[in-house]
Structure 1
């Protein structure tokens, strides 16, 4: 007799309650129609899709937050164009004076610093002993030009471990530049 998977699960419960002698009497009559163990590959595929979906939802949520800032500040930037095919770990919005007004959860995950710690600080608290003075100077100069740019800089996490970070900074403007959006990705 062949059994379905659900019948096999019930049968497993039943057979686990039998003594060895009782089980020996019936074991030859039990023939599963499916393998006893499901291949892990099927669960791996589900797991990969699940985590990819979660990441996409977090990305969408982050972009919605940036759009909310854009609406409130009446930015003229095309937000959808900014994020078109853009992969990121962290997002930071600063005011025109470069004080942080918002960071996403990815910022905390990448740096170890909480949102509440980062807000009202300038991003230079992420820099440390091996942060290139040339890179810092290039960033300062490019910020004054008020044009989008990308730079790679050595930053430091809260636990003081260094990491290379690709920073894409975009001036956000209504009539004038009111904020900067930093799109950050750890360089591996």
Structure 2
């Protein structure tokens, strides 16, 4: 099939205008059997497509890792449904005592702390003098309820800067709550 350069530019513009759900619905139709080199006409369009691709790969890797943990700890939660409904940058999994057992790569990107540093600590090390006591008390209370909840908290990066973070915390259970997963996204 022969495409003119104008047609390809129009396709690039059309694809860049789609939201994530629209793009995902047609993505399979766009894949070719063999990759082809195309002239790069717009760096913005390339970067947007590249960002979508790498984000999807990271999300798949996160899902794979959490599914492995779910198998290991025999959680009854529907892990795929959790991922479908969450918009996140970082994931933290803790045991029932809130000691971190796993974080994704987004955690390090968001906080500046390495995975090795975070493991076996509680997420409280992210809190600092800008974190409101009332927020910390609400989170403690909601965790004791063993029900999913959302909260906005001010956390501190390794370099000392603060960021506002929306946290969605979900209990993970077998017969009873054994772990918690927190999906975190930086907000303005």
The residue number in structure 1 matching 2:136 is: 136
Q: For 1:1-188, what aligned pairs fall within 5 Å after superposition?
A: 41-188=41-188
Offset at residue 48 of structure 1 (A): 1.7
The 3-state SS of whatever aligns with 1:154 is strand
The residue number in structure 2 matching 1:9 is: none
Max radius of gyration: which structure?
1
Alpha-carbon distance in structure 2 between the residues aligned to 1:107 and 1:46:
26
Alpha-carbon distance in structure 2 between the residues aligned to 1:162 and 1:44:
30
Gaps of 5+ in 2: 1-38
Deviations along 1:18-52, one digit per CA (max 9) or x if unpaired, are: xxxxxxxxxxxxxxxxxxxxx97434322321121
TM-score by length of 1: 0.77
The 3-state SS of whatever aligns with 1:113 is coil
Would you say how many aligned residue pairs link Structure 1 and Structure 2?
151
> Is the contact made by 2:165 and 2:187 (CA closer than 8 Å) also made in structure 1?
yes
The 3-state SS of whatever aligns with 2:110 is helix
Offset at residue 80 of structure 1 (A): 1.1
Gaps of 5+ in 1: 1-38
TM-score by length of 2: 0.77
